[in-house]
Amino acid sequence: MNLKKWVAAATFVFTLTSYADNIVPVSEETHSTAAALRDKAFKDDSAYEILKSLTTEVGARHPGTPGEKAAIEWGVNKLKALGFDKVYTEDVKMNGWLRGVETAEIILPSYQKMIITALGRSKSTPKKGLEAEIVHFKNYAALEQAPDGSLKGKIAFISNRMERFKNGAGYGPANIARSKGHEIAAQKGAEALLIRSIGTDDHRNPHTGATNVAMGYTEVPAVALSNPDADQLVRLLEYGHTPKIRLNIQTKDLGPIVTKNVIGEITGSERPDEVVVIGGHLDSWDLGTGAVDDGAGVAIAMATASLIKSNTDKNPRRTIRVILWGAEELGLIGARAYAKAREEDGSIANHIIGSESDFGAGPVYGLQSSNNISPNALHVVDTMASLMGELGVTRRPGNTSGGPDMIPLAALGVPAINLMQNGTDYFDLHHTPDDTFDKVNPENMRQNVAAWTVFTFMAAQWPGSFK
Ligand SMILES: [Zn+2]
């Protein structure tokens, strides 16, 4: 071997050794405990029972309503009853908004009632409603193309349908009409905005949802039509009619209110300051009882931590912090406040890894990790995926923020994983009156908790760094 080859070989061996030095293996014990937890969780109905209680004994949980107040109390009491070591709440200031009257009718060319709902923070129509012809746009981009001021005295109607995908990929492209359509409609001079619901069903249920307004009101009244009603308008247009609509929306700006993040912890036995964050959002839209969005996530996270706690006398090394996020639907309000406070007090550095369950109650099929996870921790995520293999979960490529309420934490560099759920039917129910407990399959809830116990336990117990 010449010198050059020797140096190359020695460098290679040295690199391998130092790489191996940084890799903290998953111990036999951690591996077998995670497998046992998974098997135990798969036979345990506690998440289903927690969800039943939340959706039945509390119901809808929209910020600023008695339902939200009851949910916060429910969360505190339930976390205590489940044996969490520490239970507390954190106040979050926000602006409240409530829906009131919402009716719509086609008055020409024939009289027909329509099923509609106001979008979040929609402004009211005049007290007696308004009457106007609709102008049809095939999508948001088409509305953008209309000349400014060209819709004076008209209602802008956007009719494109959200596409159905297992991973919900149709949501983002369709959603812009809901979030920003009101601004463009106002710019074009329209009296109001009417959109086809952002949903994949064919039921006569409208889908509500947030607009991009943080406080106050949308620029014009902004309303979603049920899918069959949107189809009806499109057919009338195809017959060559110009439908005239009567619309009455009355909503209320509640001004400043306080919501809360509800937090329960399983205190770490060796590194209590290091935190693994899991959770779901406690608030829901007001139309249904928030079973799939996001009572399921709340229940999965609570059951996961509680199962880990009750499994042995000794808690995992790190603290498991279950956060029932407040006011997600109106713009991740609780999550933003939480992240801002941790950035300011520096405790963001102790957030080791996190994830939120907020994509319904379908089974988990994939495990993704964020790009910022240390290469030396990827083998742990791979081990989690292999332990979840029996549940039908496989390791998936792609970056993730770990769920909506994790976005502010991910933006501050907290590593995240995503337990990808089958959301093929999620947008049939999402934000509708049909989001109710009966839609949830108990076996899928068990499967979710089984996967979540593997992730949560290993993240809290494996002593290496994810950063
Ligand atoms: Zn949600």
% of the chain beyond a pLDDT of 90: 95
The arithmetic mean of pLDDT across residues 199-223, rounded, is 97
Residue 314 CA, ligand 1 centroid: distance in Å: 33
Tell me: do 203 and 292 sit in the same domain: no
pLDDT at 2 (0 to 100): 53
Question: Is 138 within 8 Å of 195 (Cβ atoms)?
Answer: no
pLDDT at 75 (0 to 100): 98
Residue 74 CA, ligand 1 centroid: distance in Å: 19
Residue 249 CA, ligand 1 centroid: distance in Å: 25
% of the chain beyond a pLDDT of 70: 96
Nearest-10 Cα torsion for 299, 305, 308, 312: -120
pLDDT at 443 (0 to 100): 98
The arithmetic mean of pLDDT across residues 243-266, rounded, is 98
The arithmetic mean of pLDDT across residues 255-282, rounded, is 98
Residues whose beta carbons lie less than 5 angstroms from ion ligand 1: 293-294, 358
Tell me the C-alpha distance between 147 and 295, whole Å. Answer: 44
Tell me: do 333 and 444 sit in the same domain: yes
Domain that holds residue 245: 101-253
Is the pLDDT at 19 greater than 60? The verdict is no
pLDDT at 50 (0 to 100): 98
Is the pLDDT at 291 greater than 60? The verdict is yes
Residue 154 CA, ligand 1 centroid: distance in Å: 33
pLDDT at 15 (0 to 100): 42
pLDDT at 329 (0 to 100): 98
Question: Is 168 within 8 Å of 427 (Cβ atoms)?
Answer: yes
* Model confidence band, residue 312 (pLDDT cutoffs 50, 70, 90): confident
Tell me: do 80 and 160 sit in the same domain: no
Tell me: do 182 and 85 sit in the same domain: no
Tell me: do 86 and 106 sit in the same domain: no
Helices (H), 296-441: 296-311, 333-345, 378-387, 407-411, 426-429
The arithmetic mean of pLDDT across residues 177-201, rounded, is 98
Closest CA to 117 of 19, 225, 40, 215: 225
Q: What is the CATH number of the domain that holds 192?
A: 3.50.30.30
End-to-end Cα spacing for the chain: 40
Tell me the C-alpha distance between 154 and 148, whole Å. Answer: 13
pLDDT at 21 (0 to 100): 60
Tell me the C-alpha distance between 191 and 155, whole Å. Answer: 5
Tell me the C-alpha distance between 137 and 118, whole Å. Answer: 19
Tell me: do 287 and 353 sit in the same domain: yes
Domain end residue (candidates: 192, 218, 253): 253
Q: What is the CATH number of the domain that holds 74?
A: 3.40.630.10
CB atoms within 10 A of CB 125: 25
What confidence tens digit (pLDDT) does each residue in 437-452 have?
999 999 999 999 999 9
Is the pLDDT at 12 greater than 90? The verdict is no
**Strand arrangement of the beta sheet that strand 394-395 belongs to:** 394-395, 364-369, 417-421
Tokens of 282: 């406690």
pLDDT at 14 (0 to 100): 43
Tell me: do 126 and 65 sit in the same domain: no
Tell me: do 145 and 77 sit in the same domain: no
Tokens of 162: 């959200």
Residue 308 CA, ligand 1 centroid: distance in Å: 25
Residue 175 CA, ligand 1 centroid: distance in Å: 14
Give the contacts of 13 (CB within 8 A, at least 6 positions apart): none
pLDDT at 65 (0 to 100): 98
Residue 236, CA distances (Å) to 43, 226, 233, 361 in order: 53, 16, 5, 37
Domain end residue (candidates: 253, 270, 296): 253
Residue 306 CA, ligand 1 centroid: distance in Å: 22
Is the pLDDT at 356 greater than 90? The verdict is yes
Residue 362 CA, ligand 1 centroid: distance in Å: 14
Q: Mean pLDDT across the chain, nearest whole number?
A: 95
